[in-house]
């Protein structure tokens, strides 16, 4: 192993001491290596956490809003005798910064189109007149590529008409595995205002909750909901949805357009969100 690689390992790794059933910080001991960054996080070989905390405060103060950053660290000491930290990218995170509290006592189930206790997003959305959802009887995991192409065309139409919509479908949106969900890129669903992942009786997939589109979701405060199958508290009123005016239909998707907009309320602290019927 080259000296630079060895030095980096020493500053990131610990060793599992199976005889004493303990972890020893540092890579210079016999035994299985564990990358846990203990020399940095616990013993301040490089004060990364404090440095990032100060750096984020400075950038937030300068730009007037929260940010996320991408950074790299050279742990091998440079000419000045210290490790180097390099900022690679800065992205703003405006979102909805106001605290919003959704009181369960104010919610009447019969008024709701959707209720979920697994959601991302915060605040109120009042311009939801369009819903695009997968035609579930026609859903076939082997045709997710074709579904992506259909959705891209629908999204283009919605962008041209400047209409935001609720998108509903099974599995993980944006998964690279065609058997886990529909293989969309963000550009394919960019006009969606709320994205919903649902679970089917024969299609149990752990929710992504926007992990494939994290920056787009957080920076634009897009609602991202998950509705498991067979849950009493988490539900979609499919009967109500099927009776709404049809705007368009493709091989695998249905687009309904409501006469009056719906309202969604998202409590970011509780991860609870609801969408009210019109």
Any domain includes 99: no
How many domains does the chain contain in total? 2
Identify whether residues 153 and 221 lie together within a single domain.
yes
How far, in Å, CA of 207 to CA of 194, rounded?
Answer: 15
Identify whether residues 188 and 246 lie together within a single domain.
yes
For residues 17 and 31, the answer to whether their CB atoms sit within 8 Å is yes
Identify whether residues 33 and 111 lie together within a single domain.
no
For residues 246 and 256, the answer to whether their CB atoms sit within 8 Å is yes
Any domain includes 242: yes
Please tell me which residue, 124 or 107, carries the higher pLDDT value.
124
Identify whether residues 110 and 212 lie together within a single domain.
yes
Residue 113 has pLDDT above 80, yes or no: yes
Bridge pairing between strands 192-198 and 67-74: unpaired
Identify whether residues 126 and 54 lie together within a single domain.
no
Residue 156 has pLDDT above 50, yes or no: yes
Identify whether residues 223 and 124 lie together within a single domain.
yes
Phi-psi region of 108 (alpha: psi -120 to 50; beta: other; left: phi over 0): beta
Q: Which helix (H) or strand (E) holds 217?
A: helix 214-219
Any domain includes 221: yes
Any domain includes 202: yes
pLDDT of residue 236: 96
Identify whether residues 45 and 119 lie together within a single domain.
no
Read off the pLDDT of residues 28-75 as tens digits, 9 standing for 90 and up.
Answer: 788 888 878 777 777 777 788 888 999 999 988 887 777 778 888 887
Identify whether residues 131 and 248 lie together within a single domain.
yes
Read off the pLDDT of residues 218-255 as tens digits, 9 standing for 90 and up.
Answer: 778 889 999 998 888 899 999 999 999 999 999 999 99
- Domain C-terminal end among 46, 61, 92: 92
Read off the pLDDT of residues 167-205 as tens digits, 9 standing for 90 and up.
Answer: 999 998 988 888 888 889 999 999 999 999 999 888 877
Any domain includes 98: no
Collect all residues with Cβ–Cβ distance below 8 Å to 171 and sequence separation of at least 6: 141, 180, 181, 182, 197, 203, 205
How far, in Å, CA of 28 to CA of 7, rounded?
Answer: 10
Identify whether residues 167 and 41 lie together within a single domain.
no
Bridge pairing between strands 165-170 and 192-198: parallel
Measured torsion, CA atoms of residues 109, 115, 118, 123, in degrees rounded to the nearest 10: -110
pLDDT of residue 257: 96
The percent of residues in the chain predicted with pLDDT above 70, rounded, is 90
Identify whether residues 252 and 143 lie together within a single domain.
yes
Identify whether residues 199 and 248 lie together within a single domain.
yes
Interval 81-107 mean pLDDT: 71
pLDDT of residue 1: 42
Looking at 101-110, 135-144, 197-206, which range is the least confident one? 101-110
Domain that holds residue 57: 3-92
pLDDT of residue 17: 83
Any domain includes 15: yes
Any domain includes 163: yes
Residue 111 has pLDDT above 70, yes or no: yes
- Give 3-state DSSP helix, strand, coil % of the chain, rounded to 5: 25, 35, 40
């Amino acid at each position: 192993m080259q000296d630079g690689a060895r030095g980096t390992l020493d500053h990131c790794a610990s060793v599992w001491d199976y005889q004493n059933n303990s972890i020893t910080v540092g890579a210079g001991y016999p035994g299985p290596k564990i990358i846990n960054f203990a020399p940095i996080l616990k013993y301040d070989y490089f004060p990364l956490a404090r440095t990032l905390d100060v750096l984020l405060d400075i950038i937030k103060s300068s730009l007037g809003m929260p940010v996320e950053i991408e950074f790299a660290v050279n742990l091998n000491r440079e000419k000045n005798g210290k490790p180097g930290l390099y900022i690679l990218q800065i992205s703003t995170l405006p979102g909805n910064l106001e605290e919003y509290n959704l009181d369960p006592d104010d919610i009447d189930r019969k008024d709701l189109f959707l209720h979920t206790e697994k959601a991302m997003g915060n605040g109120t959305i009042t311009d939801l007149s369009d819903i695009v959802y997968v035609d579930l009887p026609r859903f076939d995991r082997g045709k997710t590529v074709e579904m992506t192409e259909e959705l891209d065309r629908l999204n283009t139409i919605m962008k041209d008409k400047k209409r935001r919509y609720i998108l509903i479908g099974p599995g993980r949106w944006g998964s690279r595995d065609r058997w886990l969900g529909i293989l969309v890129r963000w550009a394919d669903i960019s006009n969606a205002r709320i994205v919903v992942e649902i679970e089917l009786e024969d299609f149990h997939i752990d929710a992504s909750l926007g992990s494939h589109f994290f920056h787009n979701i957080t920076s634009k405060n897009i609602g991202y909901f998950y509705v498991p199958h067979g849950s009493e508290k988490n539900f979609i009123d499919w009967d109500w949805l099927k009776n709404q005016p049809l705007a368009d239909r493709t091989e695998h998707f249905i687009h309904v357009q409501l006469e009056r907009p719906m309202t969604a309320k998202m409590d970011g602290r509780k991860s609870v969100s609801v969408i009210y019927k019109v």
